[in-house]
């Protein structure tokens, strides 16, 4: 069974969408293996998005991610990485398909409600950034 790392971003927690997003996650057959609410510092957000440090939107992205609380999670399902990205939809909510989380809950490309790992190596790194092995409750 594959695991991926997911975030309910600060725009979505502030708007009160956490419960509805968690409900969709369970309805779509993901098991929530670990979950917690955190408020990242700018430095912690920069560490998490280090792979994007050369991108023009890095400062805005890390400021946004440290602007309010997030819900961070480890999700488990067959093909979890791809399945979670499919459920999130396109990065830009304006381009996201009907029925996806970013279409329903995202406002724009900066405030797009959710994050998901893009590959097995990133999933492993991102899970380890936020959770210890003891916190993963299979
Ligand atoms: P993903 O979250 O769909 O995997 P990435 O390309 O990994 O997309 O980008 C990480 C995050 O950075 C996105 O979720 C989005 O919030 C933000 N982002 C990506 N591209 C842009 C952009 O062109 N302008 C502003 N923000 C962007």
pLDDT digits (tens, 9 = 90+) for 19-74: 999 999 999 999 999 999 999 999 999 999 999 999 999 999 999 999 999 999 99
Of all residues in the chain, what percent are helix, strand and coil, respectively (each to 5)? Answer: 45, 20, 35
How much distance in Å is there from the Cα of 79 to the middle of ligand 1?
22
115 is known as an active-site residue: yes
Q: What is the mean pLDDT of residues 80-94?
A: 98
Helix (H) or strand (E) holding 47: helix 42-48
Count of structural domains, the chain: 1
Give the model's pLDDT for residue 72.
Answer: 98
How much distance in Å is there from the Cα of 74 to the middle of ligand 1?
20
Which ligand 1 atom sits nearest the alpha carbon of residue 85?
3
**Annotated catalytic residue, options 48, 62, 113, 115:** 115
Q: Does the predicted model carry a pTM greater than 0.90?
A: yes
Predicted-complex ipTM score: 0.93
Kindly report the CATH number assigned to the domain that includes residue 106. Answer: 3.30.70.141
In angstroms, the CA 2 to CA 11 distance is 27
- Structural domain for 114, as ranges: 2-135
């Amino acid at each position: 069974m594959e695991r991926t790392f997911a975030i309910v971003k600060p725009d979505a927690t502030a708007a009160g969408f956490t419960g509805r997003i968690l409900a969709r996650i369970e309805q779509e057959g993901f098991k929530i293996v670990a979950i917690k609410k955190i408020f990242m510092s700018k430095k912690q957000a920069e560490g998490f998005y280090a792979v994007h440090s050369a991108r023009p939107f890095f400062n805005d992205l890390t400021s946004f991610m440290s602007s309010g609380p997030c819900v961070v999670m480890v999700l488990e399902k067959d093909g979890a990485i791809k399945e979670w990205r499919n459920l999130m939809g396109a990065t830009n909510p304006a381009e996201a398909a009907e029925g996806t989380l970013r279409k329903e809950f995202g406002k724009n490309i900066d405030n797009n409600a959710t994050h998901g790992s893009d590959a097995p190596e990133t999933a492993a790194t991102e899970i380890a950034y936020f959770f210890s092995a003891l916190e993963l409750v299979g």
